[in-house]
């Protein structure tokens, strides 16, 4: 130990450092133990695969205006009724939407809202061709 004069010492006080290290060790031990406490609940596998219904339903918002469902042209007035007919017997309520050029955001959301009012529960967006 070296004295610098008037009672000052140049030795490092390691007590706070040891306290910090012991605290960190305890925290890591507790965190490691907590990691294994939680159980994982996985849903049971479904009895039918997602592709059992066949071809997916795609609502095309055509570039020139107008709607088509899987290539079949549908008038705007009949869109909700046609979607309702298609999804009447299907257990999965998933509709894919493909938007052509010239559609603004409000018109796309209006078409999605019409589909949801017809009974569609999930919407997937498909990039244009």
Per-residue pLDDT of the chain (129 residues; tens, 9 = 90+): 566 666 676 777 888 889 999 999 999 988 887 766 556 677 787 765 554 456 889 999 998 889 999 989 999 999 999 999 999 888 888 999 999 888 999 999 999 999 999 999 999 998 876
Predicted local confidence at residue 48, as pLDDT: 57
Q: What angle do CA 88, 126, 122 make, to 5 degrees?
A: 35
| 41 lies in some domain | no
| 57 lies in some domain | yes
Name the domain count of the chain.
1
Closest-CA residue to 112 (of 129, 100, 99): 99
Q: Tell me, what CATH number does 121's domain have?
A: 3.30.420.270
105-117 helix and 79-87 helix, angle to the nearest 10 degrees: 50
| 2 lies in some domain | no
Could you give the CA distance from residue 62 to residue 69 in angstroms, rounded to a whole number?
10
| 21 lies in some domain | no
| 122 lies in some domain | yes
How distant, in Å, are the alpha carbons of 1, 18, 105 from that of 116? 80, 62, 17
| 29 lies in some domain | no
Q: Cβ(116)–Cβ(127) under 8 Å?
A: no
| 4 lies in some domain | no
- Full residue range of the structural domain in which residue 77 is found: 50-126
Which residues on neighbouring strands pair with residue 104, listed in sequence order?
A: none
What percentage of the chain exceeds 90 in pLDDT? Answer: 48
| 3 lies in some domain | no
């Amino acid at each position: 130990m070296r004295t610098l004069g008037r009672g000052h010492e140049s030795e490092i006080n390691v007590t706070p450092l040891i306290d910090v290290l012991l605290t960190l060790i305890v925290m890591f031990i507790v965190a490691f133990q907590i990691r294994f406490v939680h159980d994982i609940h996985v849903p049971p596998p479904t009895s039918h695969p997602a592709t059992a219904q066949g071809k997916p339903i795609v609502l095309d918002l055509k570039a020139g205006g107008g709607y088509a469902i899987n290539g079949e042209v549908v008038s705007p007035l009949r869109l909700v009724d046609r979607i309702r007919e298609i999804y009447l017997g299907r257990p999965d309520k998933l509709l894919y939407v493909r938007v052509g050029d010239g559609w603004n955001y409000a018109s796309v959301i209006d078409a999605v809202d019409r589909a949801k009012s017809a009974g569609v529960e999930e919407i997937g967006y498909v990039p244009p061709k």
